[in-house]
Structure 1
Amino acid sequence: MADDQDKLAQEWADALLDGGDSDDPLAGLDNVTDPADAGSADVGNEEESLADEWAAALADSEQDEVKHEKEQAFLSTQTHEYDLPDMGPDAKAGSSSGKRDLDFILDIPLEVSAELGRTKLLINELLQLGQGSVVELNKLAGEPMEIYVNGKLVARGEAVVINEKFGIRLTDIISPIERVKQLG
């Protein structure tokens, strides 16, 4: 290694002497190698290859962008035709007979219940009930019973007996506005 350094020092000295008459003091150093540059050839190659990789990646990115723009332009030109039903005045007003077509909901089962009254009991009071016990309800005699459909109050009425069965004669039907208020 000492021989390499001596050789390199001699090359520097010769280069300085050869380039001494020129205006540029570094003119004779073209053929001189610097010990720090001994590994720089590899670094230069690595930098060039890295630069080439970056250039290739940027070119690929630009190609992808151009391809995406072309795809978007193509897709924007595509149209689909749909066969939509005529929504003329007859369709908006319903059928020509003016009657709504509600046949599809006629077979939906509903639970209808009639409530004579309510009360609250303690467990102790409930356990003491027996045959012949009387439970006091919150309604007065003669007050209308309440009719519920799927748990929602829809009407009020009075109890009647028809052919030895109980029934209810409707006396008041709850308006749709009141039914909506009950939901809230």
Structure 2
Amino acid sequence: MSEEIQNMNMQEFEEPQQAKTPKRDINFILDVPLEMTVVIGKTKILIQELLQLGQGSVIALDKLAGEPMEVFVNNKLIGRGEVVVVNEKFGIRVTDIISPADRVHQLR
């Protein structure tokens, strides 16, 4: 059995060109609904205390009056704000948006 051996011609690689950054077209997601929640405070109570709650009961929360409220979008903290009244309804005036680095850290 006879085998023929040949030299292989290698092509030289060219320098890769910088990839062009595509423009971000986010128009297709602009109408995706998100759930926004504003937390005014939290507390822990015993089942016995829960069963004793009735109309007029007052539940003390962990936040102080005037303290910023936490603003969540889809259960992820995005910022803080203060409570305002808009046309006889509660609203939130955003006073702080968390940094992109902190938002990424939450995802872990």
Instruction: Sort the TM-score into its range (normalised by shorter chain).
Output: 0.7 to 0.9
Q: Which residue of 2 aligns with 1:152?
A: 76
Cα RMSD (Å): 1.6
Which SS does the other structure have where 2:103 is aligned?
helix
Of Structure 1 and Structure 2, the greater helix share is in 1
Q: Which residue of 2 aligns with 1:164?
A: 88
In structure 2, runs of 5+ residues without a counterpart are 1-16
Distance 2:53 2:20 in 1: 60
Report 1 or 2 for greater relative contact order, CA contacts < 8 Å, sequence distance ≥ 6: 2
Q: Which residue of 2 aligns with 1:93?
A: 21
The 5 Å alignment of 1:1-184 reads 92-95=20-23, 100-184=24-108
Distance 2:37 2:20 in 1: 37
TM-score normalised by the chain length of structure 2: 0.78
Which SS does the other structure have where 2:20 is aligned?
helix
Of Structure 1 and Structure 2, the greater strand share is in 2
Identity %: 66
Query: Highest Rg: 1 or 2?
Result: 1
After superposition, give the CA deviation of every residue in 1:48-106 in whole Å (9 maximum; x if it has no partner). Answer: xxxxxxxxxxxxxxxxxxxxxxxxxxxxxxxxxxxxxxxx87x72334xxxx2111111
Which amino acid is 1:133 matched to? Answer: S
TM-score normalised by the chain length of structure 1: 0.47
Q: How many residues align?
A: 92
